[in-house]
Amino acid sequence: MEKLHVFNTLSRKKEEFIPLKEGFVGMYVCGPTVYGDAHLGHAKSYVSFDVIVRYFRYLGYKVRYVQNITDVGHLTDDADSGEDKLQKQSRLERKDPMEIAEHYTYTYFRDMDALHVLRPDISPRATGHIPEQIAMIEELIKKGHAYEVNGNVYFDVNSDSDYGKLSGRKLDEAESGTRVNTAGDKRNAADFALWKRADESHLMQWPSPWGPGYPGWHIECSAMSNKYLGKTFDIHGGGLENQFPHHECEIAQSECVHDTEFVKYWLHNNMVTLNGQKMGKSLGNAISLQQFFTGDHPLLTRSWKPQVIRFFLLQSHYRSTTDFSETALEAAETGLKNLMSILESIAQAGTPTAAAPFNLEGFKKTLESRMNDDFNTAMALAVLFENLKPLRAGILKGDIPENIAEVQSFVFRFVDEVLGLSVSGQAANADNDAAEKLDHALKLIIELRANARSSKDWSTADLIRDTLAQAGIRIEDGPNGSTYKLD
RNA sequence: GGCGACAUGGCCGAGUGGCUAGGCAGAGGUCUGCAAAACCUCGUACGGCGGUUCGAGUCCGCCUGUCGCCUCCA
């Protein structure tokens, strides 16, 4: 595709992306509820939107990327009877809810950093925007879209004729057969809470015009997106499971307050599954990112590097489910290693020979057309392999294209800036000083082994190679001497 | 029950109606003291049954199966 197209959940079609303001993209993505460690499902979502943001920037857009931190308001159970998740966790850990929020906000960013997920430009906390949420609720009441009962405030879904436009749900359909049976003091079972009354035992509470309480889940995103992105903005993203009710409710609140379209393009990423079942915290089958990084989980036989997780996720489309298995991770790991090895060869290409130029324009165009097609990273990776493999083969033969410098700079820019895969990952992570010392030592060992080889002392040569291999250092013999690689 | 997805070769996973996706694994070969790496060659897959079409994995219908949402959830 020549121009960027995105799949818009509102229309259920791919649409050309046209920004509200030329050159700028305002984007809001639902962030985590910080009461536990982030797992592979979070990684899929945030890696997906990370690539989307990166690609917009690559295209030259100035992006304002807002991703909230939900540190209050999610209930463990039904919207009326459940306990606040943070409050529950704080009871379990015997900590203040804010300690819980702070801790898991920290681990969230720690894990996302490891995955090379760029930090959002703004990470607003729900608890930091209580006045904004209250103001919005007051406006909804004033306009007749909300009502107060006993210190609770509910949104009146019947007051909004558009309600259901995102999820394709009609109000009367939802009434029979659902498990929503707690009408409580609501006028309509489908009405949702904007503000909840808190009793004295509730740890997180704020004063409000309706008495002490705390905000409902959906209102934070409406209030904060409005504050930082305006009444209408370009893109709202999140996990597919938030389409209803969360995003539907956001639309209702925002559009009823502002009387204008809330979001132009709704993007939803699909789930990570484990044995065909959705991976989720509350389902108890989630493997946290830390557990992947350390290998400390009954379903894991070993640890997995963040980079491998990222590459694994990039190999499938963000709107497809990603089925997790260690076999699949292993395949991704080898694939990534091979890609990196190809890139290394390209990086080390010497001065150009008389070889014909590499078709950089065509390569770039193909790559961009795949990304323009709703951010098809799986395709982009295929294009990378398809084009770079022959290039490497040529380089190894000594055919170095005259435009190698441009090729190198483009390839590295794309892989690093757009895909977020760091080419010199290992080298960059290593301690430079120690690496230098190791390099000296290995050069000596390789020289001694070369002497052994020239006197056909194969047993010594093999002993050196095998022992180093066990330590994760691979010796490879080539026509111009031996080299080593760190696993 | 309502709404919505998906079913692709050993595995993962793209796919705009007609030309090889790609990755991993596997087989054979070249190179090599051996190995590794690299390079070359090799797979005609699209749940089932109909239909539209000159032509369908790709469109339509039905069936079967799996999954998601309808309750917190990336």
The answer to the question of residue A302 being in a domain is no
What CATH number is given to the structural domain containing A126?
3.40.50.620
Residue type, A311: F
Query: Is the pLDDT higher at A185 or at A239?
Result: A239
Q: What is the ipTM of this complex?
A: 0.95
Q: How far apart are CA A214 and CA A76, in angstroms?
A: 15
Tens digit of each residue's pLDDT (9 = 90 or more) over A295-354: 999 999 999 999 999 999 999 999 999 999 999 999 999 999 999 999 999 998 888 988
Nearest amino-acid residue to B24, taking CA and C1': A331
Predicted local confidence at residue A75, as pLDDT = 58
For the cut 70, the answer to whether the pLDDT of residue A180 exceeds it is: no
Q: How far apart are CA A396 and CA A376, in angstroms?
A: 30
Pair (A123, A159) in one structural domain: yes
Distance A272 CA to B43 C1' (A): 29
Predicted local confidence at residue A220, as pLDDT = 95
Across the range A103-124, mean pLDDT stands at 97
Highest mean pLDDT pick, A100-109, A197-206, A428-437:
A100-109
Pair (A38, A175) in one structural domain: yes
Predicted local confidence at residue A478, as pLDDT = 83
Query: Which residue, among A59, A54, A46, A50, has the nearest Cα to A19 in the 3D structure?
Result: A59
Instruction: Look at chain A and report how many structural domains it folds into.
Output: 3
In sequence order, what are the residues at sequence separation of 6 or more whose Cβ sits closer than 8 angstroms to the Cβ of residue A355? A394, A399, A400, A401, A402
In sequence order, what are the residues at sequence separation of 6 or more whose Cβ sits closer than 8 angstroms to the Cβ of residue A149? A185, A186
Q: At what angle do helices A404-413 and A360-372 cross, to 10 degrees?
A: 20
Coil, strand or helix at A193: strand
Instruction: Specify whether the CB–CB gap between A401 and A407 falls below 8 A.
Output: yes
User: How many residues are there in chain A?
Assistant: 487
Distance A456 CA to B69 C1' (A): 69
Band (A88; pLDDT cuts 50, 70, 90):
confident
Tens digit of each residue's pLDDT (9 = 90 or more) over A7-22: 999 998 899 999 999 9
Q: How far apart are CA A80 and CA A189, in angstroms?
A: 11
The answer to the question of residue A369 being in a domain is yes
* Structure-token match 């890609």, residue found: A339
- As ranges, strand B nucleotides with an atom below 7 A of a protein CB are 1-6, 11-15, 21-25, 31-40, 66-74
Pair (A352, A379) in one structural domain: yes
Measured in degrees and rounded to the nearest 5, phi and psi for residue A266 equal -100, 125
Instruction: Print the domain residue range for A436.
Output: 430-486
What CATH number is given to the structural domain containing A389?
1.20.120.640
Which nucleotide shows the minimum CA-to-C1' distance to residue A319? B5
For the cut 80, the answer to whether the pLDDT of residue A58 exceeds it is: yes
Tens digit of each residue's pLDDT (9 = 90 or more) over A235-293: 999 999 999 999 999 999 999 999 999 999 999 999 999 988 899 888 889 999 999 99
Pure H helices in A27-129: 40-58, 85-93, 97-114
Band (A177; pLDDT cuts 50, 70, 90):
very low
Measured CA distances, A277 to A164, A289, A367, A431 (Å) = 27, 18, 33, 41
Cβ atoms within 10 Å of A68's Cβ, excluding its own: 25
Predicted local confidence at residue A74, as pLDDT = 60
Pair (A249, A356) in one structural domain: no
Distance A392 CA to B33 C1' (A): 28
Coil, strand or helix at A315: coil
Band (A148; pLDDT cuts 50, 70, 90):
very high
Across the range A359-372, mean pLDDT stands at 94
